[in-house]
Amino acid sequence: MESHLLKSFEQYLILERNVSSNTREAYISDVAKLLSFLEDEGIAADKVTLTELHTFSASLYDLGISSRSIKRILSGVRAFYKYMCLEDYIKQDPTELLESPKIGRRLPEVLTVEEVNKIEEVIDVSKPEGQRDRAAIELLYSCGLRVSELCNLKLSDLFLDEAFLRVIGKGNKQRLVPISQSALKELYLWFHWRNLITPKPGEEDYVFLTHQRKKRLSRITYFYNIRLYAEQAGITKKISPHTFRHTFATHLLEGGANLRAIQTMLGHENISTTQVYTHIDQHFLRQQIETFFPRNRKTD
C-alpha cells in the first residue's frame, strides 16, 4: 500500500499542486524517509499518531540531520497527510499539531552529578542564607523546578510526610512532584533558620525568605547567587537556575526514566518539548562510546 500511496502522492503533486520538480523530488524523498521509519516500527501510514511523528522527528535529529533540514522534511510530511485527508485515506490529519524544530536551537547546558555536588559544597551552611540557598538549589535539581516556581513555592504546597510538593506552573496549572530524601534533609535544615524569621505581612507562606528583608527571594537573587557559587566551585560552564532543571531531566533520562514521566514532572504540555532531552541523551551516549569503546580509543 505504501508504494502505491507514494506514487499517488507524486501524481497529486504534479497534477493538483503543480509544484516544481525540485519540490516534488524533495517531498517524495521526505515521505519515503517517513514510510521507511514506519515500516521499521510496524506502523501503517494511515494509522500514524502525533506521538509517532514526534518520534520520527527526534530520530532525524539523532541521525545528525540539521534543524533546518528536519523542518523541510516535516513540510513534505504535512503535504503528504493533507493529501491523505483529501483522498479520504484518513479522517483526521495527524500533523495538525506537529511542531517543527526551531532553527538555531541549542541544547541547554547540563551539569554532571559531581558538578552539582561541588556547587553545593562551596555554600557556607553555617549562615542562614547559605542553608537557604543549598536547599533551594537541591530543589531546583531534584525536582526540576523553574526559578519562578521556586520563588513562589509556599509552605502550604509542601506535603513532607508524603515527600511531595505541589507546583503552580505556567498557565496556573498544578502538578505534584516527588521530593528526594536529600532535598527533604536540606529543607528541614533550612526550616531551623526560617523559624527564626518573622516574615512581612503577606509573605508568611513562602518557603524561601531573605534573612534581612524578610520577603521571598527574587529571580535575580537566585541568578546572581548560583553564578557566584558556580564560580567559587570552579565551574566554567555558563549556568543559571534553569540549568538545574535541564540537568534534572537529563539525569532522569540517562537513568532510564520514561519520557512521559519526565514530561509530567517538568509540567510540559507538549511531549515534543521534553524530547529535547532525548537528543541530549543521545549526545551523552555518543560521548561515552567515543571515550570508552575500544575501537574509538586513540593509541599513543
| Catalytic site positions | 146, 170, 242, 245, 268, 277
Total residues belonging to the chain = 300
Rounded Cα gap, residues 239 and 245, in angstroms:
11
Rounded Cα gap, residues 203 and 43, in angstroms:
54
The answer to whether the CB of 248 falls within 8 A of the CB of 167 is: no
Is residue 134 classed as helix, strand or coil in its secondary structure? Answer: helix
What order do you get walking across the sheet with 164-168 strand by strand?
A: 158-159, 164-168, 174-178
Question: Would residue 36 be called left, alpha or beta, if left means φ above 0 and alpha means ψ between -120 and 50 degrees?
Answer: alpha
**Residue 49, CA distances (Å) to 9, 52, 75, 267 in order:** 20, 5, 16, 22
Rounded Cα gap, residues 279 and 273, in angstroms:
11
* Grid cell for residue 44: 501503517
Q: Phi first, then psi: what are they for 87, rounded to 5°? A: -90, 5
The answer to whether the CB of 219 falls within 8 A of the CB of 147 is: yes
Rounded Cα gap, residues 48 and 5, in angstroms:
14
* Grid cell for residue 88: 479520504
